[in-house]
A and B are shown apart, each in its own frame.
Chain A
């Protein structure tokens, strides 16, 4: 158990809908990261927050947004969903900003768009 908690574990929704994925980092960790893993694909970095502020951005679509709250939990919002958004979304956390840090992953949220 990495200490990173993600909810929901599984989610099925229709195209055009909006969903919110939630992440609670390990106790004391200030950085939260979101990654997307599509079928047979590697881990694509989406976005990183550090202590409530956006720190780095990767290949995140404009239809997607994220935030980190004062209690350090984070949410990833996916809107106007398309079939291609079906993927496993991972949250990870680390103690500080990423440089020189080990990041720890949650078990992921499976999103299926039908």
Chain B
């Protein structure tokens, strides 16, 4: 049973436009969410995170939105650049001292930014 879902395996966006990557989770015990970016044959690199007490967090071109009632989060990249082409993983972390206190990753979305 996949607890963190990224239903779009791939996404193509024109350079300069907005990229929106979506993520859904199933368990209300998750209270901290992270986005990672991964290039082929490299380790994932941390992009941005958000705590469940917030509904938005922004860092430069990257903004993460969290809708707790819908158990949905999204990553917005504006403007998109060719160097953003990578696989993006959504991850969720559960509450401390529960069985969900571990970081669970979604299957990833491959973003292609077309020049």
Report yes or no: B44 in contact with A45, Cβ–Cβ below 8 A: no
Closest Cβ–Cβ distance, residue A5 to chain B (whole Å)? 11
Q: Are B93 and A106 in contact (CB under 8 A)?
A: no
Complex: how many Å from CA A102 to CA B103?
9
Name A87-114 residues within 8 Å CB distance of B: 88, 90, 92, 97-108, 110
Partner of A42, one of B34, B94, B108: B108
Chain B residue numbers with a CB within 8 Å of A104 are: 46
Contact yes or no, B101 A99, CB < 8 A: yes
Cβ contact within 8 Å between B89 and A99? no
Q: Which of B4-32 contact A (CB under 8 A)?
A: 31-32
Interface string of B83-115 (1 = CB under 8 A from A): 000000100011111010111111110000000
- Contact call B93/A99, Cβ cutoff below 8 A: yes
**Contacts A99-B32, A99-B94, A102-B34; is A56 near B43 (CB within 8 Å)?**
no
Number of interface residues of A (CB under 8 A): 29
Query: Counting CB contacts under 8 A, is B42 at the interface?
Result: yes
Q: Which of B44, B93, B102, B105 contacts A100 (CB 8 A)?
A: B93
Q: Check if A45 sits within 8 Å of B103, measured CB to CB.
A: yes
A-B pairs with beta carbons under 8 Å apart, 24 shown: A2-B45, A33-B103, A41-B107, A42-B89, A42-B105, A43-B105, A45-B103, A45-B104, A45-B105, A55-B101, A88-B41, A98-B102, A99-B31, A99-B95, A99-B96, A99-B97, A101-B93, A102-B46, A102-B49, A103-B34, A105-B43, A105-B45, A108-B41, A108-B42
The 7 closest A-B pairs by CB, nearest first: A105-B43, A99-B96, A42-B107, A43-B105, A56-B102, A107-B43, A105-B44
